[in-house]
């Protein structure tokens, strides 16, 4: 029964997206490739360019929820190869929204990559360098991601990376927005769990913590937390003064990204310098 229902729902959504594309005659529907918080994600062909794109189709009841994401995508459009590039967005006659972004061929999210690959330390370092440079390109635009985790990073073409899913992202000076609870528990900066632990808040360094946990998972193929329950994980995060790595090759890097005190946490310039130094030492 449940399988039949699921198939019917999937078929219904496919019909909806095909009907939506009829309002954009240059688009051909290819297949569904995923699901986001507020909409389904499809691969399409833009016939006028003979080029594939990804489209996120958002029902009108959720369109208010994606206005911030569209705003950020417009801000970063064409600014960095490390950041997902939006081609355009459309409001349809029924007030649904379609967000059209680049299609990265043969890409997978970093979570899938971690589950299926075990690399040498030097190859992990190449990925880490890309992750740090990519985050720096976002921060240089004075934008913070606020939900960095493996599922929000694509890896492709050997070890190139691209940050995606800017639903929680915002401009750094938007303090009212940043004061709200944002992110995914397992990767969340301690301040975001409890805003009373540090009066010196730096949203860019919150991203650095999340990236540090992402890198920990990349090289250890697991998270540093003992628990899986979100409430217990948050308690564990608050008790942690620093995340330690048993892999001495990455310990200095991870421990300086995931130190609770924000003033002690390295910025991206220091982390990039450290990564390049480790790479140079490996190649001597």
pLDDT digit string (tens) for 198-209? 556 788 999 999
User: DSSP label at 87?
Assistant: E
Where do we find the tokens 């009373």? Answer: 196
Q: How far is CA 150 from CA 48, 119, 134, 175, 212, in A?
A: 34, 16, 14, 26, 11
124 token code pair: 């992990």
pTM here? Answer: 0.88
In the chain, % of residues over pLDDT 90:
62
Contact call for residues 216 and 224 (beta carbons, < 8 A):
yes
The domains located in the chain, with CATH, are 2-102 (3.30.200.20), 108-283 (1.10.510.10)
Q: Which residue has the higher pLDDT, 243 or 24?
A: 243
Give the chain's mean pLDDT. 87
Predicted confidence at residue 65, as pLDDT, reads 84
Number of alpha carbons in the 13 Å side-chain half-sphere of residue 76? 33
Which of the residue ranges 2-6, 39-43, 111-115 would you say has the lowest mean pLDDT? 2-6
pLDDT of 1 > 80? The answer is: no
Nearest partner of 164 among 96, 81, 258, judged by Cα: 81
For residue 66, the SS3 value is helix
For residue 99, the SS3 value is strand
User: 89 Cβ partners below 8 Å, 6+ apart?
Assistant: 70, 73, 97, 98, 99, 100
pLDDT digit string (tens) for 41-83? 999 998 889 999 999 999 889 888 899 899 999 999 999 999 9
Predicted confidence at residue 242, as pLDDT, reads 94
């Amino acid at each position: 029964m449940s399988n039949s229902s699921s198939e019917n729902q999937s078929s219904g959504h496919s019909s909806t997206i095909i009907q939506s594309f009829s309002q954009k005659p240059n688009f051909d529907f290819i297949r569904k490739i995923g699901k986001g918080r507020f909409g389904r994600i499809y691969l399409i062909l833009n016939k006028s360019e003979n080029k594939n794109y990804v489209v996120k189709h958002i029902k009108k009841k959720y369109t208010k929820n994606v206005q911030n994401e569209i705003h950020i995508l417009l801000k970063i459009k064409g600014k960095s190869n490390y950041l997902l590039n939006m081609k355009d967005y459309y409001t349809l006659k029924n007030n649904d929204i379609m967000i059209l972004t680049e299609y990265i061929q043969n890409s997978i999210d970093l979570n899938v990559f971690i589950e299926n690959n075990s690399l040498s330390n030097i190859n992990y370092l190449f990925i880490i360098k890309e992750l740090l440079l990519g985050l720096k390109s976002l921060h240089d635009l004075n934008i913070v991601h606020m939900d960095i985790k493996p599922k929000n990073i694509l890896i492709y073409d050997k070890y190139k990376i691209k940050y995606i899913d800017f639903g929680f992202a915002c401009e750094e000076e938007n303090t009212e927005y940043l004061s709200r609870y944002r992110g995914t528990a397992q990767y969340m900066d301690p301040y975001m769990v409890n805003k009373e632990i540090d009066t010196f808040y730096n949203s860019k360094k919150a991203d650095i913590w999340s990236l540090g946990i992402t890198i920990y998972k990349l090289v250890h193929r697991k998270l540093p937390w003992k628990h899986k329950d979100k409430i217990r994980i948050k308690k564990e995060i608050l008790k942690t003064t620093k995340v330690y790595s048993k892999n001495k090759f990455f310990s200095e890097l991870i421990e300086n990204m995931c130190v609770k005190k924000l003033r002690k946490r390295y910025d991206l310039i220091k982390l990039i310098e450290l990564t390049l130094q480790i790479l140079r030492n490996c190649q001597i």
